[in-house]
Amino acid sequence: MNAPGTPEIPRVVFEELLVNALVHRDYLIDAPIRIFIFSNRIEIISPGSLPNNLTVEKIKTGNSNIRNPILVSYAAKGLLPYHGIGSGITRALEE
């Protein structure tokens, strides 16, 4: 009774997507990152649109465009669960 449940989404996937939302969001937009948990999916909404010519298909293949290089540099120093530039989405999709 009252035991913690077993997550349906691997922890590493959730971490990758949250770090991605924090590091790559548009901080010029005054809006929070929102997380919606449904019975069949989790949606993470990060303010801003995709930068430059980046598309969802390009992201799925490992392309990236660093919007906040200072945050990325801090993440690379171990302040966030971080595993390499441009590899978070592909790693999450593989999991």
Query: What pTM was estimated for this model as a whole?
Result: 0.72
pLDDT tens digit sequence for 71-93: 878 777 766 666 666 667 777 77
Task: Name the phi and psi angles at 83, rounded to 5.
Answer: -130, 20
Give 76's DSSP letter: I
Domain extents for the chain? 11-94
Counting residues of the chain whose pLDDT is more than 70, the rounded percentage is: 88
CATH of domain 11-94: 3.30.565.60
Residue 41 Cα distances to 14, 18, 69, 92, angstroms: 12, 15, 30, 14
